[in-house]
Amino acid sequence: MKNTGSWLDKEKAYIVTIDNDIEKFETVQSNIDHYNIHGGSGTSSKEGPQDVVQDSRYLERENHQFNTYFQTIIDKVKDTNSIVIFGSAQTNERLAKTLQKNYNALAMKIKAVEKSDSMTENQVKAYVRDFFASS
């Protein structure tokens, strides 16, 4: 029985695979840019400069980077029997939604999608071991 757990946030993902009591640990970097959007009309009024920025370009680029990041994770977990996804922010939920929308066979293997704070590599390994030991 091959079980996989993935802790992820916007910067990186830790993937722990347990296959017949053999544990494998991988780190996947997201390479998602952190945008510091600058813009403005350059005019000064008594309210100050007026910023007009086209967010759609930045959001589209970020969505493309998320899709690339998720595809890398999916390629590493696609041959598992069951999976638990956990992490901070909404990245874990976003991955689960992507799986449900585009990878139904893998989405059926999801046992839980849970929120958790930042974790060290050893904490992630222990969390995955404990999760599958109790289920």
pLDDT of residue 9: 94
CATH code: domain 2-33+50-134 is 3.30.420.60
Contact (Cβ atoms closer than 8 angstroms) between residue 86 and residue 112? yes
Q: Where are the domains of the chain?
A: 2-33+50-134
Mean per-residue pLDDT, 26-55: 69
pLDDT of residue 95: 95
Q: If pLDDT is split at 50, 70 and 90, which confidence band does 18 have?
A: very high
Mean per-residue pLDDT, 12-30: 95
- The number of residues in the chain equals 135
pLDDT, one tens digit per residue, over 104-118 is: 999 999 999 999 999
Tell me how crowded residue 31 is: count the other CB atoms within 10 A of its CB: 11
Q: If pLDDT is split at 50, 70 and 90, which confidence band does 34 have?
A: confident
Contact (Cβ atoms closer than 8 angstroms) between residue 84 and residue 7? no
**pTM of this prediction exceeds 0.75:** yes
Indicate left, alpha or beta for 95 from its phi (over 0: left) and psi (-120 to 50: alpha).
alpha
